[in-house]
Amino acid sequence: MGNKLFTEILENAPANEPERQFYFIEQIKALLDVKKGEGYEAKAMVTVIGCQMSAKDGEKLQGILQEAGYSITEKEEEADVILFTTCTVRENANQKLYGRIGQLKHLYQRNKDLIIGITGCMMQEKDEVETIQRKYPYVHLIFGTHNIYKLAEYLLETMLSKEKKVELLEDSAEIVENLPSKRKYSFRAAVNISFGCNNFCTYCIVPYVRGREKSRDSQEILKECEALVADGVKEIMLLGQNVNSYGLDKKEECSFPELLAKIAKLPGLKRLRFMTPNPKDFSDELLQVMKENENICNHIHLPLQSGSTAILKRMNRHYSKESYMALVKKIREVLPDVSLTTDIIVGFPGETEEDFQDTMEVVAYSKFDSAFTFQYSKRTGTPAAKWEAVPEDVVKERFQRLLEHIRLHSEEREGRDLGKVMEVLVEEKDKESENMLTGRLSNNVLVHFEGGERLIGEIVPVRLDKSMGFYYYGSVL
């Protein structure tokens, strides 16, 4: 009966997106209205594992679910639908997912109508999907990064048929946005400007699971940003695996600096950020746009990965130790107050002590405000996974040396704004203290200060009274 009903619904579905998905959203809503009359609570939970792109996917899933009639819960035992959006950059992200879905077995045994679904990068890996289907048969819904927008269609089919739905695409020519999205913060939003990646760094699985780079239409991006500002958003973050190569895949599109400048000029937009640029594509034009627009945040996350030119070549990063340091010098000259952060991998296959010392030299020169440091994690399916590994004890010892080195060379930039009055976007209540709030400066540095909840979402002047290294305590003026 369920399959027959879905087939009938399918026959009447529009062919074009996103109209097709709104049609399925309405079908779910009608079904839930009936079930709610029978006592069905229609609650859904979405768990994000991974980066900002994964978090953005989570917002889309929540938005579709809410539009279809579900209320969002954070308690697994209350949920009728539990979805995970996943990351696969490092092995521990995969293990985190397995731990979470393993814990759901007892819930499914109590409630056979519970729908558990998984999407995101990890679901683009064939071996991982086979593992889930074999070890976790109670997961009924599996789809990948290229068809996240089809949640409503897949969910309705699963609800009606009670059968598993697994649909994975190797790529998609279609970019479908303009579907409902539930933001974590009403005053802050992320906007995808591109999907996928063309860089094929030898350690990275992303191009294989996210596909080749596709830039969105600039006018669609501008319309989305305008709508967000009209909805009260004060800060927008532009997202892409490599944001500053935006437009290179479409001759008719503007460049990333041109797009950034257009968005920065939108009336009412207080702050504009972007993640993540690649040093090889970081242009003088981009620096000039940042200098000329005060609402572009004073923060650049510039992944280094390694300071060794030889290792960077093995990584397929397309820049050298010398060119990276020259870029840092130029950034500091044009934007002297900028906060510079980075990513560094320790123990990449073939890394010698001399290579590691090159990384230490770049760290000392760059004086990063902070760094995300990782011990190399082999990802099956990448070229580097086949190469001989650096001994684990050597990697761990270098990792500890690097952490201390970063701390030492970031100290002179710590507290440089002490005593100043600066604008803080207030984000939330402090997790450690009942009467405190937490917010961020334009340069992404955290500030804790006393204040009432009414200030959350506002940009307020705060005097920075005490430096704690990577964050401040302050007072609202």
- 448 by DSSP, 3-state: which? strand
CA atoms within 13 A on the CB side of 280: 13
Alpha carbon distance 225, 168 (integer Å): 30
Token pair 């599996």: residue: 142
Q: In what order do the strands lie in the sheet with 188-192?
A: 188-192, 235-239, 271-275
Contact present, 239 and 52 (Cβ < 8 Å): yes
Residue 121 annotated as binding site: yes
Backbone angles phi, psi at 70, to 5 degrees: -85, 145
Backbone angles phi, psi at 168, to 5 degrees: -125, 130
Token pair 């007892």: residue: 106
Residue 201 annotated as binding site: yes
DSSP label at residue 296: B
Residue 51 annotated as binding site: yes
Tell me the chain's radius of gyration from C-alpha atoms. 24
Task: State how far Cα 170 lies from the chain centre.
Answer: 21
DSSP label at residue 103: H
Alpha carbon distance 308, 320 (integer Å): 7
**Of the candidates 223, 265, 263, 270, the residue with the CA atom closest to the CA atom of residue 243:** 263
Angle, nearest 10°, between helix axes 218-230 and 256-264? Answer: 20
Alpha carbon distance 382, 204 (integer Å): 6
Amino acid residing at 221:
I
Alpha carbon distance 49, 118 (integer Å): 11
Whether the CA torsion 304, 307, 312, 314 is positive or negative: it is: negative
DSSP label at residue 267: T
Dihedral angle, C-alpha 334, 336, 342, 348, nearest 10 ° = 70
Which neighbouring-strand residues pair with 167?
A: 143
Alpha carbon distance 231, 225 (integer Å): 10
- Which residues contribute to the annotated binding site for [4Fe-4S] cluster? 51, 87, 121, 197, 201, 204
- Which residues contribute to the annotated binding site? 51, 87, 121, 197, 201, 204
